[in-house]
C-alpha cells in the first residue's frame, strides 16, 4: 500500500495510508509555514514527538473535535488526559517501543532534544518516529541533534527520511548530511527550517551537496503543502 506524505510545514507532517490520515506534530494555527487551520484537519491519528509548542501544537482541539487516536510518550499522554482528552483515544508508548496500530507499526525512536509542555510540565524524553507498513518504512527524525544510532534505524532500509536541517534547535545542514550517510534512505525531505530567522537555511544547496556526496539518495525539497508518494 503506497503512502502519500504531505509536508504541512516546519515540523508538521501528514501521511495518508490507505483510508487513514496520520498527522505528526499538528502545529497548524500558529505555524507561519501554513495557511491551514486546525479546524479543517481531520486525522484518524495524531503522533506527538515532544511537548514543545511547535510540535504539540493544536493536538488538544483537533483530538477533542475528531476523537482521533493520539500516540505519544507516557508523560505527554498523561498530561493530555489531565487536560481532558478521553483516555480511550490516548495510546502511550516510549522510546524503543513499537505497536501495530493497524494502519502501520509505529515505533518511537531516540531524539536528543528537550520536551517541556506549554505549562512547564515535564514531557519525558523527546522522540522521533518510525512508521512501518508491509511495503514502506518511514523515519521522521523529529527535533534532534545527530546521534550514531541513526545508522541502526537505517539498517533495514528507509524509503523516506524526514530530517531537520534548520540548525540552532536541531541538526543543521552539516550534521543532517552525516545523518543521511548513516540512514541511507531512498528519499529524504528536509524540515524544520526557514520558519524563523534563527533556522534559515538554503535547502536547495543542501540537496545539491547530498546529491554530490551520497549517491543513491534522492532529496526532495518540498514547499509547505507539497506531497509525494512513497
Judged by the rule CB under 5 A, the positions of this chain that interact with Mn ion are 11, 54, 143
For residues 23 and 47, the answer to whether their CB atoms sit within 8 Å is yes
Stretch that binds Ni ion, among 14-22, 44-52, 65-73, 203-211 (CB under 5 A): 44-52
Q: Indicate whether 52 belongs to the interface with Ni ion (CB under 5 A).
A: yes
Phi, psi dihedrals of residue 35, rounded to the nearest 5° = -95, 0
Torsion-angle region of 192 (φ positive above 0: left; ψ -120 to 50: alpha; else: beta): left
- Residue 111 CB, nearest distance to Ni ion (Å)? 9
10 makes contact with Ni ion (CB under 5 A):
no
d(CA 169, CA 104): 29
User: Which positions from 136 through 175 interact with Ni ion, judged by CB under 5 A?
Assistant: 143
Nearest to Ni ion of 21, 49 (CB atom): 49
Whichever of 31 and 136 has its CB closer to Mn ion, that residue is 31
Query: Residue with C-alpha cell 502511550?
Result: 92
Closer to Mn ion by CB, 115 or 133: give it. Answer: 115
Applying CB under 5 A, the span of 47-55, 62-70, 182-190, 221-229 interacting with Ni ion comes to: 47-55
Decide: 92 and 73 in contact? Cβ < 8 Å: yes
**CA–CA separation, 23 and 8 (whole Å):** 9
Which residues sit opposite 71 in a β-bridge?
47, 91
User: Nearer Cβ to Ni ion, position 143 or 159?
Assistant: 143
Smallest distance, Å, CB 162 to Mn ion? 13
- Least distance from C-beta 52 to Ni ion, angstroms? 4
Minimum CB distance to Mn ion, residue 7 (Å): 15
3-state secondary structure of 227: strand
Q: How far is the CB of 30 from Mn ion (least distance, A)?
A: 12
Distance CA 53, CA 55 (A): 5
For 188, the grid coordinates are 529524504
* Cβ-based nearer residue to Mn ion, 84 or 198: 198
Binding site for Ni ion (CB under 5 A): 52, 143
Amino acid at each position: 500500500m503506497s503512502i502519500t506524505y504531505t509536508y504541512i510545514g516546519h515540523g508538521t507532517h501528514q501521511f495518508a495510508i490507505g483510508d487513514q490520515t496520520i498527522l505528526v506534530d499538528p502545529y497548524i494555527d500558529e505555524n507561519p509555514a501554513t495557511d491551514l487551520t486546525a479546524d479543517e484537519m481531520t486525522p484518524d491519528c495524531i503522533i506527538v514527538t515532544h511537548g514543545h509548542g511547535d510540535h504539540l501544537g493544536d493536538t488538544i482541539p483537533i483530538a477533542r473535535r475528531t476523537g482521533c487516536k493520539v500516540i505519544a510518550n507516557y508523560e505527554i499522554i498523561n498530561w493530555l488526559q489531565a487536560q481532558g482528552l478521553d483516555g480511550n483515544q490516548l495510546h502511550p508508548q516510549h522510546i524503543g517501543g513499537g505497536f501495530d496500530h493497524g494502519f502501520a507499526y509505529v515505533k518511537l525512536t531516540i531524539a536528543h532534544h528537550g520536551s517541556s509542555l506549554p505549562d512547564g510540565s515535564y514531557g519525558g524524553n523527546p522522540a522521533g518516529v518510525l512508521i512501518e507498513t508491509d511495503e514502506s518504512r518511514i523515519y521522521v527524525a523529529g527535533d534532534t541533534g545527530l546521534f550514531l544510532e541513526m545508522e541502526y534505524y537505517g539498517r533495514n532500509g528507509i524509503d523516506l527520511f524526514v530530517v531537520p536541517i534548520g540548525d540552532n534547535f536541531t541538526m543543521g545542514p552539516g550534521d543532517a548530511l552525516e545523518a543521511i550517510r548513516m540512514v541511507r534512505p531512498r528519499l529524504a525531505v528536509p524540515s524544520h527550517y526557514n520558519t524563523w530567522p534563527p533556522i534559515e537555511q538554503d535547502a536547495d544547496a543542501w540537496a545539491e551537496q547530498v546529491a554530490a556526496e551520497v549517491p543513491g539518495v534522492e532529496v526532495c525539497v518540498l514547499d509547505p503543502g507539497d506531497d509525494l508518494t512513497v
